[in-house]
Amino acid sequence: MGPTQGRTARRKGSPYPKAELLPRMVAKSIDFVVAYLLAWIVPGIGPLAGMAYLMAADAIHEGQSIGKRLMGIKTVHVPSRRPCSLVQSAIRNLPTSIAFALTLNPVLALVAGPLLAFEAYMAFSDALGIRIGDIFADTQVIDGKVPVDAPITMDSMIRKKSTAIPGGEVGEAAEARTSG
């Protein structure tokens, strides 16, 4: 592996850069607050409403939950380069919505902590910020300023950085310069 490549849970990689961890954690915290408010305000079915919100959150506004929208990040389906759909949101957020449901019971909350910690560890340690839900939904959280459907590749990003340095061409430009 070269210096620009790290280990990632995604088999084929991704054209998108990793989103920063702090905005992701703050966004998820905001989403949990919304879910807890639903669980507390809606009588009878509040916990289910909170779980439903968490599962559908990333499909609310073009791949942005309330927290993600406030923090300027979004979720994309990597193969289609489209914002996260309702089904993809439900798949990727299933572990966190289960953890939310577990926190509503004081005894079961002890299980939720390690589950959420593992999800955070995956997002932190993976080169693309992929967590368990992202693996199954084939999604990734990215910075909101990155165009979702733009043809971004790692090679083009490396070329842009390398060609800015005199004599730092790579690929075809370097081959033409050295062979001719």
**What is the per-residue pLDDT across 26-51, written as a single tens digit (0 to 9) for each?**
999 999 999 999 999 988 899 999 99
Q: Is the pLDDT of residue 159 over 70?
A: no
Average pLDDT over residues 12-18: 80
Please report which confidence band the pLDDT of residue 145 belongs to, taking 50, 70 and 90 as the band edges: confident
Collapsing DSSP to helix, strand or coil, 163 comes out as helix
Look at 120 and 158; give whichever has higher pLDDT: 120
Angle at which helix 94-103 crosses helix 109-125, to 10 degrees, equals: 150
More confident site: 13 or 155: 13
Q: What value does the mean pLDDT take over residues 137-142?
A: 91
Q: What pLDDT, on the 0 to 100 scale, is given for residue 167? A: 45
Burial class (CB in 10 A: 0-12, 13-18, 19+), 74: buried
- In the block, residue with structure tokens 């370097």: 174
Q: Is the pLDDT of residue 3 over 50?
A: no
pLDDT averaged over every residue in the chain: 80
Higher pLDDT, 98 or 180: 98
- By the 8 A CB rule, do 96 and 134 touch? no
pLDDT value of position 62: 87
Quick one: pLDDT at residue 42?
86
pLDDT band at 146 (very low <50, low <70, confident <90, very high): confident
Residue 155: pLDDT band with limits 50, 70, 90: low
